[in-house]
Amino acid sequence: MELSSPRFKALAVTAGFSFWFFIISSATGLFSIEALVIFLVLVITITQIFALKLSKALDIFAIINTKIFLGILFICVVSLYGIFFRVLRIDLLRLKKQGVSYWLEIDKIKQSTSVKQY
């Protein structure tokens, strides 16, 4: 975001603010489309007017918002898939030891073949 223009930063932060407005208002049961539209118009105008002056603050908010959003995304997607596959005993990475392996135990290798390998 440091190379982005201040106006683009303002739009990105407006999207972040509207996301959190939606989450918080939905969780409290006070969500309405009219309130979201009014909030968006207010935030867009304020951030666009003061975009140059708020550039550093917008960077800080974007960094914090990104870390929180990616943390929630990791918990919701990756962790739930991991738990789901573990419950169903699906081993996508084949981490379980298989009975038949192409690796040989050291005791089973003849000494004559291992001496002159090179």
Q: Look at residue 1 and tell me whether its pLDDT is greater than 70.
A: no
For 2, the token pair is 């440091």
What's the predicted TM-score (pTM) here?
Answer: 0.51
Report how far residue 69's alpha carbon sits from residue 84's, in angstroms, rounded to the nearest whole number: 22
The verdict on residue 104 lying in a domain is no
The verdict on residue 10 lying in a domain is yes
Number of compact structural domains in the chain: 1
**Nearest to 57, CA basis, from 19, 24, 13:** 13
The verdict on residue 32 lying in a domain is yes
Q: Look at residue 3 and tell me whether its pLDDT is greater than 80.
A: no
The verdict on residue 62 lying in a domain is yes
At residue 15, what are phi and psi to the nearest 5 degrees?
Answer: -65, -40
The verdict on residue 42 lying in a domain is yes
pLDDT in tens, 32-60: 999 999 999 999 999 888 888 877 887 88
pLDDT (0 to 100) of residue 35: 92
Residue numbers of the domain that contains 29: 6-68
The verdict on residue 97 lying in a domain is no
